[in-house]
Amino acid sequence: MVRSVTAVMLVLTALDSAPAAAPQKPAAATEPARKPDLADFVEGTYQGDVISDARGSSQSGVTITVKRVGKNMVEVRCDYARIPTVTIPLTQAMSAIVAARGNAVFLLDRDKDPKRLDLTIDDASLSVAR
């Protein structure tokens, strides 16, 4: 009996002196925090119309998806097959967010109407809104 009590006491003493498991740290974010840019502001889904098209007819009820793909860079997709997917670098001109370069026109005037986006892609002009 004395041996059993001694064995139990040794086990309990060992458990008490064992270091406690370190608390788990929260998983680190996969991306470091970054300052929002112009692409973050315009990212989203827009609905509207192709209002003029040099290579086809106008089209109502199109959906444009603007996705941030890099700093001040967006990819613009349209559910209307005539409009190709394009990548557009952005810059700011006064209160407007516009295409920095390239053949596409991208205009979102934050003062006038921050939900409206005007685009010209491949000779087709679109007017869409969130």
Structural domains in the chain, sorted by start: 38-129 (2.40.128)
Judge whether residue 124 has pLDDT over 90.
yes
Strand partners, 46: 64
Alpha carbons 70 and 30: distance in angstroms, whole number: 16
Confidence band (pLDDT; 50, 70, 90) for 42?
very high
- State residue 13's pLDDT score: 54
Using a 10 angstrom Cβ sphere, with 0-12 exposed, 13-18 middle and 19 or more buried, the burial of residue 100 is middle
Give the mean pLDDT of 10-14: 50
Could you read off the pLDDT of 60-79 as tens digits, one per residue?
A: 999 999 999 999 999 999 99
Residue labelled with tokens 């959906």: 63
pTM of the model: 0.73
Query: How far apart, in whole angstroms, are the C-alpha atoms of residue 13 and residue 116?
Result: 71
> Which pLDDT score, from 0 to 100, does residue 56 have?
86
Distance (Å, whole) CA 105 – CA 115: 17
